[in-house]
């Protein structure tokens, strides 16, 4: 029987708590839909979820990088039509890059 390291046990314990908190915080966004207290536009809602998605993508890519899986990070970003801009923000790939990426996939 393989004994799990203390680091693995700590990762599992702490990550489960953090994931539960993130999910709870996301569910709390529901409270913002109460029109008795809040008014918002579709653009504002889009911006909220764009920022949340960008944070999720950024952290997933960070996990790839710290585990020295840069190729997987690159594939993940291309698969999702994303890239980093000059400010380090995750942005959609330009259309010509998307086409090139799709073409490159079929070439292999």
What pLDDT digit, counting tens, does each position of 54-96 carry? Answer: 889 888 888 887 887 878 887 888 788 887 788 877 788 887 7
Q: Is residue 107 part of a domain?
A: yes
**Distance between alpha carbon 73 and the CA centroid of its chain, in Å?**
11
Q: Is residue 81 assigned to a domain?
A: yes
Is 91 among the domain residues? Answer: yes
Is residue 67 domain-resident? Answer: yes
| Tally of domains in the chain | 1
pTM of the entire structure? 0.65
Per-chain mean pLDDT for the chain: 84
Name residues whose C-beta falls within 8 Å of residue 68's C-beta, 6 or more positions apart in sequence.
none
Residue 20 falls within a domain, yes or no? no
36 belongs to a structural domain: no
Contact 91, 82 (CB under 8 A): yes
Q: Does 32 map to a domain? A: no
**64 Rama sector, left if φ>0, alpha if ψ -120 to 50, beta otherwise:** alpha
User: 106 in a domain, yes or no?
Assistant: yes
Q: How confident is the model at residue 32 (pLDDT cuts 50, 70, 90)?
A: very high
In this prediction, residue 100 carries a pLDDT of 63
**Parent domain of 62:** 41-108
Q: What is the pLDDT of residue 108?
A: 47
The label of the residue with tokens 């920022």 reads: 51
């Amino acid at each position: 029987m393989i004994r799990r390291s203390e680091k693995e046990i700590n990762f599992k314990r702490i990550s489960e708590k953090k994931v539960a908190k993130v999910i709870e915080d996301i569910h709390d966004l529901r409270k913002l839909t109460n029109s008795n207290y809040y008014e918002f536009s579709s653009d504002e809602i889009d911006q909220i979820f764009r920022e949340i998605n960008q944070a999720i993508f950024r952290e997933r890519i960070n996990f790839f990088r710290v585990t020295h899986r840069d190729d997987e990070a690159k594939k993940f970003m291309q698969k999702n039509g994303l890239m980093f801009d000059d400010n380090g923000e995750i942005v959609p790939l330009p259309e010509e890059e998307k086409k090139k990426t799709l073409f490159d996939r079929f070439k292999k």
